[in-house]
Amino acid sequence: MDKIYLILSVITLLPVISKAGMVRQPVKDESWDFLLLAQFWPGASCIYFDEYTECPVPQGQVGWIIHGLWPSVFSGQQPRMCDPSMTFDITEIQPLRTELDKQWPYLNKSGDSTFLWKHEWDEHGTCAYTLPILQGELSYFNVTLQLHSTLDIFSALSTANIVPTTDNLYSLTDIWTAVVNKYTKLPQIACLHSKHKYYLDQIYLCYNKSLNLIDCPETHHHIYWNSMTKAKKLKLSLHFESEKSEPVNSQTVDPRDYFIKCPRDEVYYIPIPDRKTEIDTKV
């Protein structure tokens, strides 16, 4: 798939978005190169919050959920908190509340469900404002929901026989390759280390300012460190063809250049808890 075309919901056409017209006074450099859509695996998020058997996963949730949409740069650190004067107002995104609760939940049972949304707006939404389609809370959250709705990481992994289980570990390279095969773009993978075990935690996909999927950069460009920088390189030759039958892309890459806080080889991809599930997260 070479491009993703969005049909934005009618919500983005509302005539009045109060914060879209406000006078901005950015206090930091807010220039950026691309957007990174971060998605959580709920099972790992519940491990992170140390509440696996009581994790408030939305009823019927089976897929990946949103972490955030982050303006990013190809070198250096992401811009953050670009304009503190653009304070978060939950009423601005009330028309999206049902979808936010399903696709963008906050899985810490002790926290307010709006905590994550406020954090993402303060940290990243205020920097995304420089792109007209992302101006204002309603637009920023709506576009993020729409981008997420075009993806199905769960299906991409399942097609490669990578399914949540407590019994097996999966190769990170196989996980990464499954996403590449589905979307013909290079993703990043982040892992969670908890109680001496590594879990598949997040998958990042990248977009240009026209909201088309692009290859993510290697993680040494990322704000987080890459545990694989000193590991022996494992080169893969990737060959894939877009749905538009354009010339076949061929490139040789090391998947581990796209891993963040990950082990050398395998991780757990654990099931989403159903309140009846218990797993051993100890050694």
Residue 209 sits in a domain of what CATH number? 3.90.730.10
CA distances for 241 relative to 214, 248, 253, angstroms: 14, 5, 17
Query: Rounded CA gap, 229 and 225, in Å?
Result: 9
pLDDT digits (tens, 9 = 90+) for 30-86: 699 999 999 999 999 999 887 666 788 887 888 999 999 999 999 878 899 999 999
In the three-class reduction of DSSP (H, G, I as helix; E, B as strand; rest coil), residue 110 is classed as coil
- Among 190, 183, 200, smallest CA distance to 228 is for 190
Q: Note whether residue 251 is domain-resident.
A: no
pLDDT digits (tens, 9 = 90+) for 168-202: 999 999 999 999 999 999 999 999 999 999 999 99
Q: Note whether residue 119 is domain-resident.
A: yes
Q: Note whether residue 238 is domain-resident.
A: no
Q: How many domains does the chain have?
A: 1
Q: Note whether residue 18 is domain-resident.
A: no
User: Which residues are identified as catalytic?
Assistant: 67, 120, 124
The pLDDT assigned to 222 comes to 41
Query: Rounded CA gap, 127 and 72, in Å?
Result: 10
pLDDT digits (tens, 9 = 90+) for 227-282: 333 334 455 555 444 443 343 354 688 999 999 999 988 999 999 987 444 445 44
In the three-class reduction of DSSP (H, G, I as helix; E, B as strand; rest coil), residue 94 is classed as helix
Q: Note whether residue 175 is domain-resident.
A: yes
Is the model's pLDDT at 19 over the cut of 90? no
| Tokens 């503190």 found at | 84
Q: Note whether residue 25 is domain-resident.
A: no
The pLDDT assigned to 213 comes to 99
Q: Note whether residue 140 is domain-resident.
A: yes
Q: Note whether residue 68 is domain-resident.
A: yes
For residue 146, the enclosing domain spans 30-225+258-268
